[in-house]
Structure 1
């Protein structure tokens, strides 16, 4: 064939339907007519179908496809139309799927292909694209992002896609509707499967007795339960975000890891925010954590939560968020605060600056008396609940580098980027696991940075070098800030009240803050105490103690001032576990481990014919071995089974004494 003949064949007009054209199946006729319509620039639809009227199986005897622009004929005898149509009639009953085509007047539209694709008959999502859309749907891509990705896969221009954005939206809606019909059942079944795969996974549910429907969920994974003992010294609990179509409050229980990152210690979806519901959450939380109570907990100013914690966790320190207390004060005292700047400064200074309870209470009474606010109702309420929110009452309690529930609320805000507020619970659980994986990846990245890089030192103090070898990168950053701040204090020794102790007074050498910090030192016991209580609150020594140590030429920080929870070893396996992780704990981890190995083998073997044949033959042989192993038919499995049989028989026939 010459080049001219080939060009003419490629550029020729599509085969037009003609009277007498036959097809074996109706789908073949529709496909042919639809392809012809696309090339000619119009769309089609089905206008008539007719089945046989006899008893027995239904048999299609006629179906008419017509251009979407075709008008109705003025009378029944008029077979012409403004466009063209195809009808299939079954003439031979002996031939099951034989159709005759009848063609009426034709009209060519000659529309551009970019516009013809908008006809419904030409919009079809292939199975490969459906699989890709499902993957993007699972990771919560927006529909616009899905269309952009599909366009890139198809060559970079989304206009060549054989479907439009509405088709993708409709497909995703069908997915959501399918899940919504069995939402809770899928979620509970998934939790049960997780528990079977890994006994360390824990979940609980509440069920409505009347409707027998699940109304609340609580779950904790195995890794979280292992980490809880190291990070139980401070947890946060908040229910400010409703994130599913049932308006069930999302109640995460979070903590702080050794990289100063927020970690999830548990999660609950609650039917309401009542006392009994909160009791159910904390009861299951303690069951999951083997009845090991947290030491300190911070929540918002919710009365039901306060009552629940006092009953369910009576021996822990419960602190309310200072930000919530101040926000409510701004709402109630807005006019006073905006009208009197002196009172506003005195109000916040009274809350934030006192180091002791006595100092706070004295300053509060002085403020109330000076501004004549003894009868202000909200200030009276704040005074009555001062022991739950005022920082002075928690100077000796461990709430590292925070006085608010910002970690919980920040997690809620971050979670909004993963989940749609109208999403199902099943979708929520999936995205919750994506969030966990994201947080684990972030934690691994910080651990890698700490191992692979060296933090520059600010000074030549041995105590700073000691700290950099112990703390994680993030915590050492906090410690180094204290080292830098220590250079800004003037130190004076003051008479000691007890023998063996040394007292120091420190104040800023810039005289920007007249406040004096007191440090008490007992050298024989290697004990350092500061009036700011920075170590008790945050777990690292303060700038004032560092200044005293350098003044006394102390070369090493006592080990009691290094909390293990801030070290790199807090989450790093020790010994052989660092290199040998053993058998994965569940099917998902086993699958991922094998997947990585086999993908690597395939990538190495595909570039060489001999290596390909070698791996292919080994895979064929291994397939038979795996099938036998699943049936427990391998010789090794039989030997183990024969060794276990006498022991099982002995236990069965053992007579109790």
Structure 2
């Protein structure tokens, strides 16, 4: 338990430190700026050290776009056993980079030789294949299997948020384009009618993740709750009888207020009650043994 408590305390400290601290830029390069957006503060400091060390190397192009030699400046100043030249290969049109030093395979961060080649090629972003999630700001965004589709890096069409928002955004764009002139209106209506005819048989099978079905499932049993008023809102069926509905699920929830005017009285302590200086404390009902400093409620 002590071990788990210490580990969780350290993780919470680093997470809080990442949220409130601004990364300290050293070289002000595009790669460093991109790393500051994805890595935590601790890992960004490690990346800054690697980026600083990359300044001690120069790049020699052997095969254009695929193979490079990375040489260390002033090799005579180092010991004979020190490695002064590394071979870096660029794969998949810059989406993957491999260095013979094996720094990425060992630590999960690109080595200084690979970073030097990326800078030589003018690549301003770290390849996505070389970004390990455990070193990023979203490292703790790991959900169980039944909620995995809600993770930031695994958004899919099975998510209610993704499907509903994406469909609604595109539908509003169609409305904006169709409202430009009468010709665009007729074209938009023809497309919407054909889309509804094609989607009606496909929508017969529900997976339970749609917004309307989620609302129906969340209703208490034995009661009937209407999400939106049926009349008087001005969003009923149009003149052509499309009967689309009233933007189900977009109305604010009903606010239940108690009858009468809300009270603003509070139970003030004796030292804050202005009338307590000239009046005696009121007797507390049903409590004969109450202390003298008790309040009136």
TM-score range, shorter-chain basis? 0.3 to 0.5
Give the TM-score, by structure 2 length: 0.45
TM-score (norm 1): 0.21
Q: Which has the higher strand share?
A: 1
Task: Please state which structure has a larger fraction of its residues in helix.
Answer: 1
